[in-house]
């Protein structure tokens, strides 16, 4: 086993190399970047979807539920392989409207409503915190596997690693400041960051493939030998012979289809960072190919881990534990860097995207409201670049500390996959308002707000609350007796309907979201600004769900001209 200081030095050197790559990407003029290289960088940056959930959690999931881990990849592959026209339309709208985040996109459609954008931002921040906690947990687990057995209470390093997750959160904040908040750009393009993310995408793919090839062709004598070994171990074969759960496949595919576009980090890399349709065309086949490759050896690694360790260790750590157990320390080190790449890429892009949303949709509107009209016209304090950078840095630190708090409170005992699915369900609450924004002219800001708030509240009640019960923070009585002792208000059996807890929570939250969105939109006519934005977002050839809304006339345009604007940092 490698010494702890070796692991630490290699990890720091790797992060510094990534920082050098990011600096090069920022300093290199865009015209000097190879024309054919930018689409590849763009496609690889989309792999920020593959976090430590993919690198470690997919193997853990396969070790428990067989091939069900594939559900979170089927949706993204279908979206990019078949949904090219839709993604292209989303990008065109975003560029024409100068939209830089998912909150801006939803708010812009509904009359450029700051309230809609603020609600979306709040949901995104709370919903993504468990996902960031997942990355902290994965890195903490991987460090424990790599160096934990070497550290005893007599070792001075022991006191620093006693709560290593807090140190990881602080280091992640510093890394994110270095990578994502060095400058302010009106378009929020981060050329250097995208180059570093693309480099990390290559590292994590090669690392996972290296472990998979070693497991298949060195630890075993090829795939057929591995299959024979599985057949000879009934308890392992049983895992991979489980019947498919149609409900899980449908729900997971739906949520992953939404997540690949609506997660703040995915919207940022897919929409904000897009420079041309050529990039999207390349990504339409390269990104699905990447997803196939990085999942190619999930089942072999999971099977080999079960054959070697059984249930003695956490299956989420099989990627590291197998090479360490066989004495292949440097292969384990390569895998560790792959997992570190998967986690840091997600944390950096996600926190940068959330910080942009917080500054643009919360802080800047409050600052502008406090300024007098004369100050704005005179341009006093117009250059807010330094203030915005400070705001975003504090936002990044706050988000990571909240993620750490969630990890300590509720995420320490949960599997990586269960934490990730919690965030997928939260971001799924953007679904009705987002889809309605693209296809329904009659949709209004009132409906969007009502739907998102209703869905988010039910998500918190049916899915988030039980995680605190499992950690003994909230009494189990609420699960048994219901809220206020009312049986039909049990979080996992709402209104007396009792089925799979996760599917139950997703169903009720999205049902309420959709119902309130439709009813709220039908409760009043669209305002002039909403009519104008509907004409931009909804193609003329789409038939409205109700009677066609009249095109906003010149008086409508005059009412909102100069009043609605999007704030960029």
Q: What per-residue confidence (pLDDT) applies to 565?
A: 41
Who contacts 58 (Cβ-Cβ below 8 Å, separation ≥6)? 69, 295, 298, 417
Q: What per-residue confidence (pLDDT) applies to 389?
A: 85
Q: What per-residue confidence (pLDDT) applies to 475?
A: 83
User: Mind listing the pLDDT tens digit of every residue in the chain (569 residues)?
Assistant: 667 778 889 988 998 898 888 888 777 755 555 566 889 999 999 999 999 999 999 999 999 999 999 999 999 999 999 999 999 999 999 999 999 999 999 999 999 999 999 999 999 999 999 999 999 988 988 988 888 654 445 555 554 555 788 888 998 898 888 877 776 665 557 788 889 999 999 999 999 999 999 999 999 999 999 999 999 999 999 999 888 888 899 999 999 999 999 999 999 999 999 988 999 999 999 999 999 999 999 999 999 999 999 888 889 999 999 999 999 999 999 999 999 999 999 999 999 999 999 998 888 888 777 765 555 555 555 556 778 888 899 999 999 999 999 988 876 666 667 888 999 999 999 999 999 999 999 999 999 999 999 999 999 999 999 988 877 788 888 888 888 888 888 988 888 888 889 999 999 999 999 999 999 999 999 999 999 999 999 986 654 444 344 444 444 444 444 444 444 33
Who contacts 289 (Cβ-Cβ below 8 Å, separation ≥6)? none
CB-side neighbour CA atoms (13 Å) of 527? 12
This prediction has a pTM of 0.88
Q: Specify the 3-state DSSP secondary structure of 69.
A: helix
Given a contact cutoff of 8 angstroms between Cβ atoms, the answer to whether 42 and 273 are in contact is: yes
Q: What per-residue confidence (pLDDT) applies to 411?
A: 60
Is residue 109 within a helix (H) or strand (E), and if so which, with residue range?
Answer: helix 102-109
Q: What per-residue confidence (pLDDT) applies to 399?
A: 95
Domains and CATH numbers, the chain: 4-154+166-182+190-433 (1.20.1730.10)
Which single residue is written with the structure tokens 């009209």?
A: 373
What would the two tokens of residue 222 be? 């090829």
CB-side neighbour CA atoms (13 Å) of 379? 1
Q: Point out which residues pair with 490 in neighbouring strands.
A: 493
């Amino acid at each position: 086993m490698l010494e702890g200081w070796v692991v630490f030095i290699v990890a720091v050197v790797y992060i510094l190399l990534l920082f050098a790559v990011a600096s090069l990407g920022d300093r290199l003029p865009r015209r000097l970047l190879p024309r054919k290289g930018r689409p590849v960088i763009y496609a690889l940056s989309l792999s920020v979807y593959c976090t430590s959930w993919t690198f470690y959690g997919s193997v853990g999931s396969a070790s428990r539920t067989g091939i069900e881990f594939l559900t979170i990849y089927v949706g993204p592959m279908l979206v990019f392989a078949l949904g090219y026209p839709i993604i292209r339309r989303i990008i065109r709208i975003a560029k024409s409207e100068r939209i830089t985040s998912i909150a801006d996109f939803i708010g812009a459609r509904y009359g450029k409503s700051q309230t809609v954008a603020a609600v979306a931002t709040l949901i995104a921040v709370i919903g993504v915190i468990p996902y960031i906690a997942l990355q902290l947990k994965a890195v903490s687990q991987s460090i424990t596997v790599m160096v934990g057995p070497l550290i005893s209470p007599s070792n001075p390093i022991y006191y620093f690693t006693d709560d290593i997750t807090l140190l990881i959160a602080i280091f992640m904040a510093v890394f994110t400041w270095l990578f994502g908040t060095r400058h302010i750009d009106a378009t929020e393009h981060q050329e250097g960051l995208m180059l570093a993310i693309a480099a990390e995408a290559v590292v994590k793919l090669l690392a996972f493939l290296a472990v998979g090839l070693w497991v298949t062709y060195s630890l075993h004598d090829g795939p057929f030998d591995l299959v024979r070994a599985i057949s000879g171990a009934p308890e392992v074969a049983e895992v991979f012979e489980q019947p498919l759960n149609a409900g899980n496949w449908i729900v997971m595919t739906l949520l992953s289809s939404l997540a690949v576009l609506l997660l703040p980090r995915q919207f940022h890399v897919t929409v904000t960072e897009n420079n041309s349709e050529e990039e999207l065309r390349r990504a339409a086949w390269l990104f699905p190919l990447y997803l196939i490759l990085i999942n190619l050896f999930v089942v072999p690694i999971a099977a080999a881990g079960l054959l070697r360790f059984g249930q003695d260790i956490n299956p989420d750590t099989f990627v590291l534990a197998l090479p360490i157990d066989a004495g292949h320390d440097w292969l384990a080190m390569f895998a560790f860097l792959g997992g570190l790449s998967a986690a840091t890429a997600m944390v950096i892009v996600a926190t940068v995207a959330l910080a942009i949303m917080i500054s643009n949709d919360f802080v800047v509107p409050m600052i502008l409201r406090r300024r007098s009209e004369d100050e704005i016209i005179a341009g006093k304090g117009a250059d807010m670049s330094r203030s915005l950078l400070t705001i975003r840095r504090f936002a990044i630190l706050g988000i990571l500390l909240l993620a750490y708090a969630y990890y300590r409170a509720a995420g320490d005992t949960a599997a990586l996959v269960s934490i990730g699915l919690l965030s997928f369900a939260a971001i799924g609450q953007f679904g009705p308002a987002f889809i309605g924004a693209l296809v329904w002219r009659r949709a209004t800001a009132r409906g969007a707000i009502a739907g998102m708030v209703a869905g988010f509240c039910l998500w918190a009640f049916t899915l988030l609350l039980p995680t605190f019960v499992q950690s003994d923070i909230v009494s189990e009585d609420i699960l048994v007796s219901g809220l206020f002792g009312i049986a039909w208000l049990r979080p996992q059996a709402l209104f007396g309907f009792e089925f799979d807890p996760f599917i139950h929570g997703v169903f009720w939250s999205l049902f309420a979201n959709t119902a309130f969105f439709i009813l709220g939109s039908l409760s009043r006519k669209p305002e002039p600004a909403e009519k104008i934005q509907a004409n931009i977002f909804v193609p003329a050839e789409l038939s409205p769900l109700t009677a066609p809304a009249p095109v906003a006339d010149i008086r409508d345009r005059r009412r909102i001209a100069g009043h609605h604007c999007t704030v960029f940092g």
